[in-house]
Chain A
Amino acid sequence: MDRTNAPPSAETPNSQEGTSPLVLLKPVERDLQQLDENLKRLISEENPMLMAAADQIFGASGKKIRPALVFLVSHATAQLTGLSEITPQHRKLAEIIEMIHTASLIHDDVLDDSDKRRGKETVNRVFGTRVAVLAGDFIFAQTSWLLANLENLEVIKLISQVIKDFASGEIKQTTSLYDCDITMQDYLRKSYCKTASLVAASAKGAAIFSGTSNEVKENMYDYGKKLGLAFQIVDDILDFTRSSEQLGKPAGSDLRKGNVTAPVIYALEKQPALKRLIQTEFINPEDLDTAIELVHQSGGIERARELARNMGDSALDCLSCLQKGPMRSSLEGMVDYVLERLH
């Protein structure tokens, strides 16, 4: 059923070669399929209204990178502690992680009034704001209960912290819109809350259920954290480098809303003119384009790319405690995949 003991095959991803997500997720394909089925059943069993929304919510269109990371770390750390296969707790953890991620996206779409998510219409668009808010709440509540049922205090604390961090991150962002004095440290802290916290907790949680040493647990946490931060930095870069069609929203929309990200923080060091444009909230029609141009010209984007690459390299270092094999290769490939989105 699972692939922990599967011999290396032609399907084993080599991190030097293809880093398409599908190739990377091959070793945990079955795990992900089962997760999909479980989640849909979980949500529709409760309420017919949510059953209608279940497809929109847990549709196949999501790449399921987060639960995939849980499975990959689960298998990789299980190898270290001699487990023959991953445990039901590992599987539940993956489901919980995907639920938290999905609930936060549903609420984000309400807050941003978004019509589309991953090429499909959003829950709020199809079913309205009320259903979207209730669905998000329901899913968060379910995760609390499922988490408690795992009866592992360390994991409970770890994951509860994530939900707390999500909310903190959003509030932090709202209270620092158009703040040109934001430091790189502030930015990384906010990015941690928004994105990396979940990934770090996922990886560490998987190690906990494998019963690894503390050293491995911390390495997995660091891997997840750095991978998550790299992912967020890349996302923030793409807001400047991708065109509106590719992004699904106008370019520079982070900046437009006053969300000051890594490329802009770097650019502000070199281009004082940018500060005025941000402080006046791009009041003139040409201001936003001028600001984006300044960010490009100042080398802010290149420096942010370097930051992401360093973060990625640092994440790779954390994997050295794992046995070489398809699982570790996929985890290494994840770093490349995250960074490759830069091209």
Chain B
Amino acid sequence: MLIMVSPDCMVHPCSLHCSRKSSSLKLRTVRSVRCPPTVCLSESLARESSVGHGIDHMKLSLRESLQGINRGIFGVSAAQKSAIEHQIALLEEQNPIRKPTDHLQKVEGEWRLLYSSISILGMKRTKLGLRDFITLDEFLQTIDVDKNRASNIIKFSVSGLGMLNGALTIEASYVVSSEKRVDIQFEKSTIVPDQLFKLFQKNYDLLLSIFNPEGWLEITYIDDEMRVGRDDKGNVFVLERTSHPGTD
């Protein structure tokens, strides 16, 4: 691992955390910390920058391990799943915001699902036509902190019907119930367009049961670009912001 540092600073290598499961290592430029030579580098600053590098690598590793598995929605082998969840756990240990519900503004806006432990397999998958006929596109989540509401948008495309595109939108409200946790209440769901609704009509309850967010959700990791959550059904979710805040 290569770290570029300004000649003014020293970084303690032993405080770097990095899990590297991928064989390809990408070079990352890191922020170099400038400090007046008299103060030198306080240990906490050193740790912060080194952990910063560590987190970046962890997120990179995690993203790499999520390549090609379609967010895990159609199953992941036990070995792969265990590796992914280990990476998630390492990231959660580095959660920079320990009491996320005190800083709920951090979750405001639009997020995209990268991975979840929810899977649609077997007869469920067959019934929902998700085998050859209907494709699952993006999962987006928009959170409005002022109104305490969240919208989950699951996009579909249907190849047969001249590339029909549509979405299922599930709206929910939440209340903060602890420093990490929110309780979520299902409000309503809509499917557009009508042809898509007709395709799912027979199995609408099944569809909702898979994507219904009702219950509680803990925010176990949150930074400017990534969020990890765990719900009351033992599921884990990894999301990224759809538009990054201005980079420094």
Contact = CB atoms under 8 A, between A and B. Distances in A.
Interface in B44-77: 74-77
A284 interface: yes
A180 B122 CA distance: 9
A269 to B, nearest CB: 18
A284 B79 contact: yes
B121 A280 contact: yes
B27 interface: no
B126 A177 contact: yes
A309 B125 CA distance: 35
A178 interface: yes
B123 interface: yes
A283 interface: yes
A176 interface: yes
Q: Chain A at the B interface: mostly helix, strand, loop or mixed?
A: loop
A16 interface: no
B75 A280 contact: yes
B31 interface: no
Contact of A178 (B76, B79, B119, B126): B126
A286 B79 CA distance: 12
B78 interface: yes
Nearest to B133: A174
8 contacts: A278-B122, A279-B121, A280-B119, A280-B121, A281-B121, A283-B76, A283-B78, A284-B78
A175 interface: yes
B121 A178 contact: yes
B122 A280 contact: yes
Interface string A166-182: 00000000111111110
B131 interface: yes
A178 B123 contact: yes
Contacts of B76: 283
Interface string A129-159: 0000000000000000000000000000000
B121 A175 contact: no
Given A280-B122, A284-B78, 10 more contacts: A176-B123, A176-B126, A177-B131, A178-B122, A178-B125, A178-B126, A179-B122, A278-B122, A281-B125, A283-B78
B77 A285 contact: yes
